[in-house]
Structure 1
């Protein structure tokens, strides 16, 4: 039985958001909007609402994760990488669930604004993304227990969010926006892959069937390195083919962080030892994505 503790300061609620994962929300919106700049003037209020919607959906997904992992007995006070709001800080599980549902309600309001300014067909896409966020750990067959987590998270938070961000500004989807979304999709999938590498032993004990469990830790680390390499080669290829400006090569400045992430996993077996590597993976996505967005903006002006 969880006992309510008296001390629930702002840091508790900040950890509940799992801020290191929010890069999967703000990077795609930034890249999609930067691409839209080339097709016409960007609607700043629409960009901000889209950014808010993406952030709160990602945060709510983290809260559903926190709630259902507790309910299913997967989280303990010793668990690494979780917010710990329930098992360590004593916040009632029902409170975490209510906040998550409230965030989803706020996302619906934001979605109405976005659809009214663009297309109501986006409501179906948005509801699909929200359903996937809930079903990641909720429902009878949680996605988190399968080897499909990396693929689905990458496509939904990478390609889908970039294309929505581009579409609401331009009213269309271009081949360039699809191609530029690919490395972001790959890197977001890599964030979840790094999380599952860290949690491999614990997940196996809990009968999960994540990709690293099926592949083995060493192969999963090699796959992470391949995903990083592919992303950098993809952007370089887009530049060489003249699809994007050479300014996009700014994203290559994040390579040292990617190397740090891969090296941080080698030779490590304890989750706490792999936390810096997982954080470096998320930071790689942040640096790569924001530098790519900056390059797209600079190519518009220069």
Structure 2
């Protein structure tokens, strides 16, 4: 018994425990949390000095909301019988590691609580109107898989994710620094909005067969696998084309053209889905889609910085 107790507290076991909690956040999706904040701040630096406290508060709140949303997903997919030990792309804390579902829910609500405190700080230093917007964003994160009519079961998951975790986060990040919203900030937010939606579409392409069995009506299911992959490719093309359009119309600096360096990831993501049907075979394509959003967003932010300083 003593040896078992010592073994349970060994560094190897503790490291494994931390890995379980880390995987529960679904880290490959967290880019959808920090890229919009970075981009909104990059836009703001052209108009004002950056308030670092607000930047880090917004960044942390966005990441915590994204992580909590993933935990709600884990909880409700388990409750509805979607997840099992063989499920791909999940944290697996409940079905693989025996974490009690109520613990996962409690942690998710705790992350929301911290986000609310961060939101109070942000509102105190900007506008209390943001409190209502923030609460709507948090509600959308919960209702994606929670509630009687989960958004994840409908064709509107991509639009919802793109709007709340892309467009709104970018504009809030811009607003808390500048106190205003400009047409340029909206226009430059569009490609990231599309790419955040693409992450959800890639997820739904991977899970298409399993989701269909459980009665989901995702966009990927309604279109069919082949057309959904074509749509994913079109979303990538649209995102790059939009940036070039902004450059041509002089709404963005020529430096933002460096987003093209992320194109190989988009191509890898698209090709990675072609001819695949098993979820585990499509995981590299799913990750490449998330990486496209990350690299594209970072490069777009760098391009904005270079356009301002050079």
Question: How many Å apart are 1:300 and its aligned residue?
Answer: 1.4
- Match among 198, 207, 211 for residue 206 of structure 2: 198
- Note if 1:10 corresponds to 2:21: no
- Note if 1:27 corresponds to 2:35: yes
Partner of 1:120: 128
- Match among 177, 185, 202 for residue 177 of structure 1: 185
Structure 2: segments with no counterpart, 5+ residues: 1-7
Partner of 2:85: 77
Partner of 2:230: 222
Question: How many Å apart are 1:54 and its aligned residue?
Answer: 0.1
Counterpart Cα distance in 2 of 1:13 and 1:281: 23
Counterpart Cα distance in 2 of 1:14 and 1:300: 37
Partner of 2:4: none
- Match among 50, 58, 61 for residue 50 of structure 1: 58
Counterpart Cα distance in 2 of 1:69 and 1:188: 21
Counterpart Cα distance in 2 of 1:251 and 1:263: 20
* Per-residue CA distance 1:69-104 (angstroms, 9 max, x = gap): 111111000000000000001111111010000000
- Match among 279, 285, 291 for residue 293 of structure 2: 285
- Match among 65, 70, 73 for residue 65 of structure 1: 73
Partner of 2:247: 239
Question: How many Å apart are 1:9 and its aligned residue?
Answer: 1.4
Counterpart Cα distance in 2 of 1:158 and 1:177: 12
Partner of 1:3: none
SS of the residue 1:78 aligns to: coil
SS of the residue 1:79 aligns to: coil
Partner of 1:209: 217
- Match among 255, 262, 267 for residue 270 of structure 2: 262
Question: How many Å apart are 1:238 and its aligned residue?
Answer: 0.3
Counterpart Cα distance in 2 of 1:9 and 1:279: 23
Partner of 1:103: 111
Counterpart Cα distance in 2 of 1:19 and 1:300: 32
Larger Rg: 2
State the TM-score, normalizing by the size of structure 1: 0.97
Counterpart Cα distance in 1 of 2:302 and 2:52: 16
* Per-residue CA distance 1:22-71 (angstroms, 9 max, x = gap): 01110000000000000010111110000000000000000010011111
Counterpart Cα distance in 1 of 2:18 and 2:300: 33
Counterpart Cα distance in 1 of 2:33 and 2:77: 22
SS of the residue 2:43 aligns to: helix
Partner of 1:249: 257
Counterpart Cα distance in 1 of 2:278 and 2:61: 35
Counterpart Cα distance in 1 of 2:48 and 2:145: 40
Partner of 1:159: 167
* Per-residue CA distance 1:228-278 (angstroms, 9 max, x = gap): 000000000101111110111111110011000000000000000000000
State the TM-score, normalizing by the size of structure 2: 0.95
Structure 1: segments with no counterpart, 5+ residues: 1-5
Counterpart Cα distance in 2 of 1:299 and 1:12: 42
Counterpart Cα distance in 1 of 2:43 and 2:136: 24
